[in-house]
Amino acid sequence: MLSLAILTASFLALAGAGASPASLPVVAKRQGADALSTFVAQEQAISVKGVLANIGGQNSSLVPGAHPGAVVASPSTVNPNYFYTWTRDSALTYTMLIDELLFGDVSLRKTIEDYTTAQAILQTVTNPSGSLWPAGDGLGEPKFYTNLTRYDGTWGRPQRDGPALRAIAFMTLAPALFNLNETAAYMQFYWPLVLNDLRYVGQYWNQSGYDLWEEVHGSSFFTIANQHKALVQGALLAQKLNTTCKPCAQAPQLLCFLQSNFWNSSGGYLTANINSNQVTRSGINADPILASISVFDANASCNAGDFQPCNSKVLATHKVFVDSFRNLYPINKNATAPNAVLVGRYPEDTYYNGNPWPLCTFAAAEVLYDAVHQINQTGTLTIDKTSLAFFQDLSPNITVGNYTGATMTGILKNMTTYADGFISAVQPHLPSNGSISEQFNATTGESLSASKLTWSFASFVTMARRRAGEYPISWGAWHPLANTKMTAGQCKASSYNSTGSYTPVVADGAPNITKICSSEVIFSCNASTEFGQNVFLLGNVTKLGGQLNNTDKIILPLNTGNITSDNPQWYVDIWLAAGQTVGYQYVLQNGSDWVFERGPVRTVKVPACGSGKLVRTSDSFRFPSS
């Protein structure tokens, strides 16, 4: 398939034009010869190689059988088995690689084209979350086999950050093609891929899903923040392409949702999840920190969208988050601020008994480098009641106020030193070959869990670029479209119905999937559950697991979005092949137990092809008598 050949020609032109075209910003501010800078430069090079070695099509012996452009999470196949490709990790990784291309590494064009084809194919793969046609629900599937086939095991699905992050990755590439006057090629090969994902975001942002750690079912800050960025970036890109992005008009509602729901005012931090099944957790989490570095825009003010790195709420969250690990991990030796420490995902983490994660520790540094740049650009450091405690760690006698000149410079210097501290905390625990695993043992600092984790490497590269004062091209966080504010009362559970408009991107190598005639079924089940319990649907068609009475086939959790105090209504809205009779049953997840409802298998008749009808079941969970 030569469909992307025109892009190869374009990127060759980019190479011919010199390593870094004049209009692409490449700034190098900190090229110190100190020991830390030397380490960062070496580890940065190792990390780019480490990422590429985990991607199919690079002739890498580490990931045999992976399709070209498929990002393998880690070569580890046992304890744990991470030999899969996740939409989120892949998109974050390729956003980094696309930025590396923009910084001048044109050798990456081939792998970026491989990723393009791989994602065009994956968009069309029917999976346990659904399918591309007609309702796009399959785009929310979090992971696939590395040969780009569906994974049917039980998993936390859907995960709604994936489509947003993938759209962001491909939108990040737009300036490169615009620079080469290849707008038409962008319109042909990339915009349709992006639009499928933006349609998904506009349609489903207001429905719950699993968070980036794949454990919590609810609404995650990281997910919504990235979805908001994707819709705004999409609206601005559509203008440049003289086209429209109707689902992008949802953006102000996402901002409203973010601003109204996630700030924990008594604790003074942004909480990771709301409407969740994890009520015993504090909500202190790397999630908002990772969100902030993802939506970072070097040209934005601290209050743009409210969640830029230099925003007071983000800095306050940074303090609460980092402090939660000081006395938790023995390796941190109860170090107090302004000493940096190793940080993990969230303090209540029990995965491998709970340990520091390199990628979270690098993020803690990266968000500070970003914030220092943004504050320095505005020329004034504003310290308010929200951020005061954060700044007092760096400047003990500081008070609420606006600072310029030497005071500002001195505090920013201390902030940069603090950021460097996070890297210094990691450095002694890396093996001599620079390989970065998923975790460090909380007591010994030894590498733990998946080795050579792709996301660990990618997070080092972005952190190193920001440390050097090298920033991605602005995506528009400063633009009025990104800042359309509403009052909490105006927030609405809105949605843009894209059903019927999702389209396989055949130009990129996607199969022209048969548009199976489907009709809509809403499975609705009243079940009074206890906190921590979930209700799943199991049925004898593939989308519902495929086999009744088999716990290994349970793949479809119901949504909690319709539950009220007097109406415990769980539901899922799904499209199934028209005209058939489906047998189904509900199953209660209680910890690690599955409790099947008693009584006979239920049946529903899916409306006939073209009838335009939908069926809504009205079931009540038949609890086994105790």
Among the listed ranges 42-50, 222-230, 315-323, 395-403, the one in contact with ligand NAG (CB under 6 A) is: 395-403
The footprint of ligand NAG on residues 147-186 (CB under 6 A) is: 147, 149, 180-181, 183
Tokens found for residue 605:
């008749």
Binding to ligand NAG by residue 353, rule CB under 6 A?
Answer: yes
Would you say 155 is a known binding-site residue?
Answer: yes
In the shown chain, the binding pattern of residues 536 to 575 toward ligand NAG, with x for contact by CB under 6 A and - for none, equals ----x-----------------------------------
- Whole-angstrom CA distances from 122 to 69, 72, 458 are 11, 14, 22
Compare residues 198 and 225 and give the one whose CB is closer to ligand NAG.
Answer: 198
- Active-site residue 573, yes or no? no
Is the Cβ–Cβ distance between 331 and 440 less than 8 Å? Answer: yes
Per CB under 6 A, the list member of 327, 339, 392, 620 interacting with ligand NAG is 327
Q: How far apart are CA 445 and CA 371, in angstroms?
A: 28
Buried b (16+ CB within 10 A) or exposed e, 302-335: bebbbbbbbbbbbbbbbbbbbbbbbebbebbeeb
- Active-site residue 214, yes or no? yes
Compare residues 382 and 533 and give the one whose CB is closer to ligand NAG.
Answer: 382
- Whole-angstrom CA distances from 254 to 206, 207, 226, 390 are 8, 12, 10, 27
Q: How far apart are CA 600 and CA 598, in angstroms?
A: 7
In the shown chain, the binding pattern of residues 465 to 504 toward ligand NAG, with x for contact by CB under 6 A and - for none, equals --------------------------------x-xx----
Q: Cα–chain-centroid distance for residue 37? A: 29
Number of residues that bind ligand NAG (CB under 6 A): 46
Binding to ligand NAG by residue 592, rule CB under 6 A?
Answer: no
Q: How far apart are CA 105 and CA 15, in angstroms?
A: 9
Residue with tokens 């869990």: 449
The footprint of ligand NAG on residues 277-296 (CB under 6 A) is: none
Q: How far is the CB of 147 from ligand NAG (least distance, A)?
A: 4
Residue with tokens 């909690």: 560
Residue with tokens 């990691």: 426
In the shown chain, the binding pattern of residues 117 to 146 toward ligand NAG, with x for contact by CB under 6 A and - for none, equals ----------------------------x-
The footprint of ligand NAG on residues 234-253 (CB under 6 A) is: 241-242
Binding to ligand NAG by residue 441, rule CB under 6 A?
Answer: yes
Q: Give the CA angle between residues 261, 262, 267 to the nearest 5°.
A: 125
Compare residues 234 and 288 and give the one whose CB is closer to ligand NAG.
Answer: 234
Binding to ligand NAG by residue 410, rule CB under 6 A?
Answer: yes
Q: How far apart are CA 71 and CA 48, in angstroms?
A: 13
Q: How far is the CB of 281 from ligand NAG (least distance, A)?
A: 19
Tokens found for residue 613:
């009808």
Alpha helices (runs of H) in 307-404, residue ranges in sequence order: 312-326, 358-378, 388-394
Name the 3-class secondary structure at 359: helix
Is the Cβ–Cβ distance between 478 and 298 less than 8 Å? Answer: no
Binding to ligand NAG by residue 506, rule CB under 6 A?
Answer: yes
Q: How far apart are CA 252 and CA 341, in angstroms?
A: 37
Q: How far is the CB of 170 from ligand NAG (least distance, A)?
A: 16
Q: Name every residue whose Cβ is closer than 8 Å to that of residue 180 and which is 6 or more positions away in sequence.
A: 10, 13, 14, 17
Q: Which of 89, 100, 113, 211 is catalytic?
A: 211
Binding to ligand NAG by residue 601, rule CB under 6 A?
Answer: yes
In the shown chain, the binding pattern of residues 182 to 221 toward ligand NAG, with x for contact by CB under 6 A and - for none, equals -x--------------------------------------
Bind-site residues for substrate:
155
Give me the active site residues, please: 211, 214
Bind-site residues:
155
**Which positions touch ligand NAG (CB under 6 A)?**
29, 145, 147, 149, 180-181, 183, 241-242, 327, 333-334, 352-353, 372-373, 376, 382, 395-397, 400-402, 407, 410-412, 414, 441, 443-444, 448, 497, 499-500, 506, 512, 520, 540, 581-583, 601, 603, 614
